[in-house]
Amino acid sequence: MENFEPTIVAFCCHYCAYTAADMAGSKRLCYPPNVKIVRVPCSGKVDAIHIMKALEMGADGVYVAGCLEGDCHFKSGNIDAAKRVTYIKKLLDEIGIGGERVEMILMSAGMGERFAQTATDMTEKIRKLGPNPVKSASKANNAA
């Protein structure tokens, strides 16, 4: 589909990923506006239903960004989040939406470049995958 601009929801933990996003901003690093950031106290706060609802409501891709291994402010929130993401990826494959639309990313507060790069990479990946199938079918119906 031409000119497809994906909508990506990024759940970013306050202590690391969100701070990295801030760092990217202050360093004037560019990253695509497709990424909508949702700040959470810890990536472990993100539950399966949040990811599902984001996709259900039309997001084309979702990622959960948390602290590097061993650095989680709440000890193991990032590990729990990673396990949930793995579980949801399988479920999404089962229903034909595709687990590759969801990812778990780890970074530290100072990694402004990594934040920007991740945002760019994810946007491109989802652009290639195309729109979330839940939208295109109804769009086709509306057009018909």
**Residue reference for tokens 């960004």:** 65
Interface pick for other proteins out of 2, 26, 70, 96 (rule CB under 8 A): 96
Interface pick for other proteins out of 29, 37, 38, 52 (rule CB under 8 A): 52
Tokens of 69: 């291994």
Using DSSP, state whether 54 is helix, strand or coil.
Answer: helix
Task: Please give the order of strands across the beta sheet that includes 35-40.
Answer: 35-40, 8-13, 61-66, 102-106
Interface pick for other proteins out of 5, 47, 69, 124 (rule CB under 8 A): 47
Interface pick for other proteins out of 95, 110, 124, 130 (rule CB under 8 A): 95
Q: Is 91 in the site for other proteins (CB under 8 A)?
A: yes
The interface with other proteins within residues 54-73 (CB under 8 A) comprises: 55-56
Selected range binding other proteins among 11-19, 49-57, 61-69, 112-120, rule: CB under 8 A:
49-57
Q: DSSP per residue over 72-130, as a string?
A: -TTSSHHHHHHHHHHHHHHHHHHTTS-GGGEEEEE--TT-HHHHHHHHHHHHHHHHHH-
Chain positions contacting other proteins, by CB under 8 A: 47-49, 52-53, 55-56, 91, 94-97, 133-135, 137-138, 140-141
